[in-house]
Structure 1
Amino acid sequence: MIENFDKILQAISPLNSRQLQLLPEDIQDLSHQMTDNRGERRLGYMNESVQLTAYSRYFVWWNLIRLSRLFTNLPAKAFPKDNCFCMDLGSGPLTVVISLWLSRPELRSKKLVWYCLDLSNNSLKLGEDIYLSIAAKTPEFTPWKIIKVKGSFGTHINEKCDFITCANMFNEIDQTNDMPPEFQTKKYFDQLLEYSTEQTKYLLIEPGFPKSARTLSLLRERFINEQKQILSPCTHTENCPMNGFNAYTGSSCKWCNFAFSTENAPSALRNLSTDAHLQKDRAVLSFISVISDSKKQSNKENELTVRITSDPLKLSRNHTGFYACSKIGLLLLEFCSESNHSSGDELTIELKTAIEKLYVDSKTGYKKIILR
């Protein structure tokens, strides 16, 4: 259905030929407002018809691709159980809810109630129409109940929720606030807890920008201190070696993000990107998946679990390399043969050498593991 998302939207909210002709220009204008000209963007910009159309026809489509790719690759225990209340913060046109319906078919049979919170009633209404249209194509399942709530992060709702999601919300908040994440995160975390039960699962996703990735890293610390488990992407509970400290102001500190190629994106979307002069070769995101169980399966003494955090690197002797995150910090993995791994993959490596005796790469200073 993602392949034909433009046709679904056209059936729900049709554009005439003139509007379709102006769409690439409107998308480009909105992109500028969301990036370099964001100071000119009104807080309730998604209540405006032209802005909402550009957002839903382009940005929602790309977000469905990013989120569906992520959700497909997360373990089942990251997602809600049957008969629970869920909350999507900064829901916009229900992009997270729609992505979950499309990418996790096993959730369709569950009785879920979704509180979808956003500043724009128009965006929520459009999102509900899109969701119900897509759900109607699988008539054997009853659609989840959607409760639309107009408001900002912190708005009261009547139920505590067992599953809380948000996508791009902290990035939007950070764009309207000059305070660094270090001064904001406690407030964010306390508000998340206000919405939560003791068993709440969280799935927080951001676009992969340094500042919002830093926010997630700081939230990660607080969840760990509350004895929660970071189910993904973290393979450990040690200090984050990609915490993004001051990366958004130009420091050399790395921030946690994952990328994948867009070559398999729908051709109509890629053509629209070209027409709007916003070509995408890669889609990037940062995220944390949190569950209430603080116990994570431990490795054997000679094993190390790592998460690949980079694209493939060309090394000498036709070897392939990747940077990876682990409990001992960032690593350089060197594969002696061709590797099919990609950014985001989790590997458990059987070490042939004690950790303290691992070779240190002279260029990066990272410990290096050679895999044959």
Structure 2
Amino acid sequence: MRNFYEVNGNVFFNIEKYMVEWEKYIGIYDKNGTEKKGSAQSLGSHVQKLWKNFNEDRSQLDKHYMETAIGLQAYISSFLLPNIERVFSLLVRDENIFAIESLLVTEKEELVISDFGCGPLSGSVAILALVEYLLAQNSKLFAPKKICIYAIDRSEKVVELGAKFVKNSIITDNSISIERLTSPAKISKEIDIALCINVFNEIPEKHRFKTLKSIYDNTHEGALLLIMEPGQEEHAKALGALRDHFIENSENCEIISPCAHNKPCPLSQNTGRKDWCWFRHSWNPPTSLKLIDKYSKIDHHELNFSYLFLQKNKIRSAENYFARCVSDEFALDLKGNKAQFDYFTNNLSSGDKEEFIEMTQYEGGLQKILLCTQTGALESAFMIADPEQKEYRRGRRIKESDELYMRAKERI
């Protein structure tokens, strides 16, 4: 799937103009397009410090970091585009895209987006790019007459900057409106798409459910809700616990992805497992972001995240699947472990055992993955590492008809 910045928007939002606005703001090129090395190096240093505060020592993170000129510039230069790409790349996937399409199958006066903890509107920009992509791909969809964005954030400065980027990229005057609010309680229209991107990890846990419920209660039938958090253990497990509480206490709320079930999350902070549910997306960062990465020593080619995508009274389901892969593949050395070898071969006939031994001679041998199944349980699954067969990467949906060599009968 193409990167968000490659979408050719021609209805509401010109993504190419948006990228120009972004480059103009970060200021690492002169008017002739030549790199301003000193500016790029200085910005990279500030980005590196901000990244360490985000990921290594939250106690050093100033909660007003985007109120300073350099703090805001550092955030916009390095974090804005990857956050847009995370949301766009997730929602454009086969199992999710039908839900966005469901909002565009009939003529609509206005599409209403609420963006809680919006910052510079990264989530909203991803939705604008996605709508442009869908309208270009599917002639049977209807473009809404207007798009209304509720930008919910306490920082007026950062919202104003994000709104400026968007407004300077609008194709038709007055087709997109942006209203900043300080609380979800101030929303006056029913929501079509509710976004909570990288925000719940920054607010006290005791307030998360109440806040999420207040947003959900202001949505109409068929509305969508996306929560996205960093793909780190603490935040992913906390999202699993929030998911369980929310699903248990919210009417008509169904999970579109990533879960194959509505049962308690087997990887939440309420369980004793060390694994956590997270996913990754590889993309091609634009040239200017690669330059910032060079000086900040941050690699944005692979984006990690955890998420939950919901719909109120789900319109229709994506293709049914048995489970989702929630781990990377890792090899099992049966040659060096007689107990494991016996586990796999004890119930095989002599002929099947010979075939099994022959199949495991592929480089990589037998591979193991972890599945989160329709029953809400975790199961191990095993397959031969045959280079001619498809890989079962983290995040992949697994059908019961998929040719895994065998699933462990014992749940783990």
One fold, TM greater than 0.5? Answer: yes
Q: In structure 2, do the counterparts of structure 1 residues 277 and 156 end up closer, same or farther at CA, with 3 Å as the change threshold?
A: same
Q: In structure 2, do the counterparts of structure 1 residues 292 and 58 end up closer, same or farther at CA, with 3 Å as the change threshold?
A: same
What is the distance in 2 between the residues matched to 1:270 and 1:51? 19
What is the distance in 1 between the residues matched to 2:166 and 2:299? 27
Kept after mapping to 2: 8 A contact 1:308/1:322: yes
What is the distance in 2 between the residues matched to 1:352 and 1:107? 36
Q: Secondary structure at the match of 2:267?
A: coil
Q: 1:130: how far off?
A: 2.2
1:147 is matched with: 178
Q: Secondary structure at the match of 1:241?
A: coil
Aligned to 1:239, which of 264, 283, 287?
264
What is the distance in 2 between the residues matched to 1:311 and 1:358? 16
1:31 is matched with: 51
1:324 is matched with: 371
1:89 is matched with: 116
Aligned to 1:163, which of 164, 188, 193?
193
Letter in 2 for 1:30: L
> Alpha-carbon deviations, 1:325-351, whole Å to 9, x = none?
112312223233332342222122139
Q: 1:261: how far off?
A: 3.7
| Alignment pair present for 1:2 and 2:5 | yes
Q: 1:96: how far off?
A: 0.9
Q: Which has the larger radius of gyration?
A: 2
What is the distance in 2 between the residues matched to 1:20 and 1:6? 17
| Deviation larger for 123-132 or 226-235 | 123-132
1:35-184 aligned within 5 A: 35-73=55-93, 74-78=96-100, 80-81=103-104, 82=108, 83-104=110-131, 105-106=133-134, 109-110=143-144, 111-136=146-171, 144-151=175-182, 153-173=183-203, 177=204, 181=205, 183-184=206-207
| Alignment pair present for 1:270 and 2:270 | no
1:287 is matched with: 307
Q: TM-score, normalised by structure 1?
A: 0.78
Structure 1: segments with no counterpart, 5+ residues = 367-372
Aligned residues: 340
Q: Secondary structure at the match of 1:75?
A: helix
Structure 2: segments with no counterpart, 5+ residues = 7-15, 31-35, 137-142, 334-359
What is the distance in 2 between the residues matched to 1:200 and 1:6? 29
Kept after mapping to 1: 8 A contact 2:379/2:408: no
Q: Percent identity?
A: 21
What is the distance in 1 between the residues matched to 2:41 and 2:169? 26
Q: Secondary structure at the match of 2:391?
A: coil
Letter in 2 for 1:309: V
Kept after mapping to 2: 8 A contact 1:189/1:222: no
Q: Secondary structure at the match of 2:399?
A: strand
Kept after mapping to 2: 8 A contact 1:207/1:285: yes
Q: In structure 2, do the counterparts of structure 1 residues 229 and 142 end up closer, same or farther at CA, with 3 Å as the change threshold?
A: farther
Q: In structure 2, do the counterparts of structure 1 residues 236 and 49 end up closer, same or farther at CA, with 3 Å as the change threshold?
A: same
1:216 is matched with: 239
Kept after mapping to 1: 8 A contact 2:222/2:314: no
Q: 1:50: how far off?
A: 0.7
Q: TM-score, normalised by structure 2?
A: 0.71
Q: In structure 2, do the counterparts of structure 1 residues 26 and 296 end up closer, same or farther at CA, with 3 Å as the change threshold?
A: same
Letter in 1 for 2:241: L
Kept after mapping to 2: 8 A contact 1:124/1:148: no
1:196 is matched with: 219
What is the distance in 1 between the residues matched to 2:289 and 2:245? 38
What is the distance in 2 between the residues matched to 1:305 and 1:75? 19
What is the distance in 2 between the residues matched to 1:298 and 1:169? 28
